[in-house]
Amino acid sequence: AQKITQTQPGMFVQEKEAVTLDCTYDTSDQSYGLFWYKQPSSGEMIFLIYQGSYDEQNATEGRYSLNFQKARKSANLVISASQLGDSAMYFCAMREWGFNFGNEKLTFGTGTRLTIIP
């Protein structure tokens, strides 16, 4: 089974509207972290937001918020008031610790290409 599933290959959103990018994950570990990265056409991965599995509050960073629903194993990214510069690929990723706190690798989904329309 895929560890990270992003079911929206592409999305088109009107400028200034809010957008939700979906992410579901699969893990049997109790300790894990969920990340969202933005990858513009330049190719560099830009960290946006992080949610730990034990965090009770949804993470927020400026216009970004993470809608964390642990029972559903979903970690959707919400971008409020979208801007033209938000057009990019967006990747959801997970780091699993389990009983091994030396496991630091990120597992990424296949991404969603977001296009903001003026």
The residues that touch another protein, with contacts defined as CB under 8 A, are 4, 37, 42-47, 50, 91, 93, 101-111
Q: Which of 95, 75, 73, 83 is nearest to 16 (CA)?
A: 83
Residue closer to another protein by CB (options 40, 81) is 40
What is the smallest separation between the CB atom of 105 and another protein, expressed in angstroms?
A: 4
What is the smallest separation between the CB atom of 116 and another protein, expressed in angstroms?
A: 21
CA angle, residues 47, 50, 56, in degrees to nearest 5: 165
Dihedral sign, Cα of residue 105, residue 53, residue 108, residue 96 = positive
Residue closer to another protein by CB (options 32, 68) is 32
What is the smallest separation between the CB atom of 15 and another protein, expressed in angstroms?
A: 26
What is the smallest separation between the CB atom of 102 and another protein, expressed in angstroms?
A: 6
Q: Which two tokens stand for residue 69?
A: 């629903």
Residue closer to another protein by CB (options 17, 26) is 26
DSSP conformational letter for 58: P
Q: Which of 28, 2, 3, 11 is nearest to 77 (CA)?
A: 11
